[in-house]
């Protein structure tokens, strides 16, 4: 008997019709004789009654008056509502189930309310219920401290609950059900012919998730990767198997990387480029600038340090603070707001000549200037003007043949 973890996101649980689809996937795996642990998110999106953002909104009206501990108590309710509704639906289908909070499921965390880390998972209780023939429903996004306090794992944390449970239970697979047909070659709102991928490596999806693709939480992938548990990202609303996330070596063995230097594109908008020219000696400037950013909690990206000065980016929200700090240091920064960071990601690009040449050609043929670039062995990043984003993504998507199956 195989153990499968199925995680259902908010849009999969938002209304009765969606929940019928959820039920279909549970019944299929149940009838196939699998043991099932179901992880649920809060229902729906911002604005819908029990969504996490809606719960937050209830207290935002009162300023920041709710302490972090109590905020986590409030936030944990969304998942509890989903889990209870799902339990009642399973009962109507004659499938016996039990609902557990994160703490009851044995998910122990540290006490950083709002962004707790899982420290341990005690699986005895889940194993006991599975051996009783029950489907175990676990509320995602939450755990419990050793003192019995309820904690939440940070926004998007129910993916982490799912892969952490999958790892602790040595699941055969963790299925992340969402509202898209798996991991796409690019964001379909920007690239009309973006296409689902049948498989990606853990590293590739981590890069995609860290660079703006919102399909799965990067921390969830890291946990699965460490434990070597396969993950499938798939749609609740279809029977497609979606995208298998697995080890790079498995893709290499299947020859997939042989014909795929680039796997997909991701992007981040609302980025500001800052440049500071050096007048007084490089070390002095470099140290002053990055120390000032660090001590004020401003995260920097796209960092280019040269004897002539430094270039880097900050998110739009930090722009004014960053400029103010630079002025305080006596620098007159060059500021370019409204930039976007495009990531060209592919585990197969390592050591392959010509990838940057294709990027430069595609963008320059479309008249798009590259403002800055950086690279690692699986990703090339280019900074462009946000105005050029749609054109750039489409040009790169075509240049790498990502629309072709
Ligand atoms: N409901 C939580 C959130 O909206 C957790 C999740 O959906 O993964 O962040
Ligand atoms: Mg989510």
262-289 pLDDT, tens digit each: 999 999 999 999 999 987 666 678 889 9
**Taking all residues of the chain, what is their mean pLDDT, rounded to a whole number?**
95
Distance CA 25, CA 15 (A): 16
Q: Is the pLDDT of residue 240 over 70?
A: yes
Distance 39 CA to ligand 2 centre (A): 11
Mutation choice for ligand 1 from 14, 139, 140, CB with most ligand atoms inside 8 A: 140
Nearest-atom number in ligand 1 for the CA of 158 is 8
User: Residue 175's pLDDT is what?
Assistant: 98
Distance CA 176, CA 3 (A): 15
Q: What percent of the chain has pLDDT over 90?
A: 87
pLDDT category at 57 given cuts 50, 70, 90 is very high
User: Residue 279's pLDDT is what?
Assistant: 75
The model carries a pTM of: 0.90
Nearest-atom number in ligand 1 for the CA of 155 is 9
- Range from 30-39, 61-70, 149-158, 312-321 carrying the lowest mean pLDDT: 61-70
Distance CA 329, CA 289 (A): 8
Distance 141 CA to ligand 1 centre (A): 6
Residue 44 CB–ligand 1 contact under 6 Å: no
User: Residue 281's pLDDT is what?
Assistant: 64
With beta carbons less than 8 A apart as the criterion, state whether 404 and 194 touch: no
Look up residue 113 and give its two tokens.
């309310």
pLDDT category at 1 given cuts 50, 70, 90 is confident
Among protein residues, the one whose CA lies closest to atom 6 of ligand 1: 156
Q: What percent of the chain has pLDDT over 70?
A: 99
User: Residue 119's pLDDT is what?
Assistant: 98
CA 143 to chain centre: 19
Residue 45 CB–ligand 1 contact under 6 Å: no
CB-based contacts of 226, cutoff 8 Å, min separation 6: 167
Distance CA 386, CA 339 (A): 5
Residue 52 CB–ligand 1 contact under 6 Å: yes
SS (H, E, C) 17-40: HHHHHHHHHHHHHHHCCCEEEEEE
Angle (nearest 5°) at CA 341 between 204 and 249: 10
Q: Is the pLDDT of residue 49 over 80?
A: yes
User: Residue 215's pLDDT is what?
Assistant: 84
- Range from 143-157, 216-230, 254-268 carrying the lowest mean pLDDT: 254-268
- Range from 15-19, 237-241, 249-253, 345-349 carrying the lowest mean pLDDT: 249-253
Q: Is the pLDDT of residue 259 over 80?
A: no
**Among 167, 138, 155, CA closest to 7:** 138
CA dihedral of residues 125, 126, 129, 130 (deg, nearest 10): -150
With beta carbons less than 8 A apart as the criterion, state whether 113 and 73 touch: no
Among protein residues, the one whose CA lies closest to atom 5 of ligand 1: 156
pLDDT tens for each residue of 291-328: 999 999 999 999 999 888 999 999 999 999 999 999 99
pLDDT tens for each residue of 162-197: 999 999 999 999 999 999 999 999 999 999 999 999
Angle (nearest 5°) at CA 403 between 268 and 207: 35
């Amino acid at each position: 008997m195989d153990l499968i973890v199925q995680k259902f996101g908010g849009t999969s649980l938002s209304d009765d019709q969606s929940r019928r689809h959820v039920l279909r996937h549970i019944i299929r795996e149940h009838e196939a004789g699998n043991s099932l642990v179901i992880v649920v998110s809060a229902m729906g999106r911002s604005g819908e009654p029990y969504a996490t953002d809606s719960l937050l909104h209830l207290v935002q009206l009162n300023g920041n008056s709710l302490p972090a501990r109590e905020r986590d108590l409030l936030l944990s309710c969304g998942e509890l509502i989903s889990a209870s509704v799902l339990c009642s639906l399973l009962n109507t289908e004659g499938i016996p189930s039990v609902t557990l909070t994160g703490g009851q499921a044995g998910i122990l965390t540290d006490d950083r309310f709002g962004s707790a880390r899982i420290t341990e998972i005690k699986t005895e209780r889940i194993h006991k219920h599975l051996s009783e023939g029950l489907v175990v429903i676990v509320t995602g996004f939450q755990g419990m401290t050793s003192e019995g306090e309820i904690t939440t794992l940070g926004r998007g944390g129910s993916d982490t609950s799912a892969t952490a449970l999958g790892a602790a239970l040595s699941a055969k697979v963790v299925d992340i059900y969402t509202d898209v047909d798996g991991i796409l070659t690019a964001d379909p709102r920007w690239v009309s012919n973006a296409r689902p991928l049948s498989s990606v490596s853990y590293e590739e999806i981590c890069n995609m998730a860290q660079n703006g693709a919102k399909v799965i939480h990067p921390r969830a992938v890291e946990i699965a990767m460490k434990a070597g548990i396969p993950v499938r990202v798939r749609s609740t609303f279809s029977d497609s198997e979606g995208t298998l996330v697995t080890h790079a070596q498995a893709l290499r063995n299947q020859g997939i990387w042989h014909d795929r230097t680039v796997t997909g594109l991701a992007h981040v908008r609302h980025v500001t480029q800052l440049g500071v020219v050096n007048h007084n000696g490089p070390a002095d400037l470099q140290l002053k600038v990055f120390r000032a950013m660090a001590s004020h909690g401003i995260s920097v990206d796209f960092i280019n340090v040269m004897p002539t000065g430094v270039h880097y980016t900050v998110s739009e929200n930090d722009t004014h603070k960053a400029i103010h700090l630079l002025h305080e240091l006596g620098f007159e920064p060059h500021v370019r707001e409204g930039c976007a960071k495009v990531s060209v990601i592919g585990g197969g690009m390592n050591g392959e000549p010509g990838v940057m040449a294709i990027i430069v050609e595609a963008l320059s043929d479309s008249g798009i200037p590259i403002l800055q670039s950086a690279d690692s062995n699986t990703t090339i990043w280019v900074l462009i003007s946000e105005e050029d984003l749609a054109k750039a993504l489409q040009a790169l998507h075509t240049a790498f043949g990502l629309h072709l199956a």
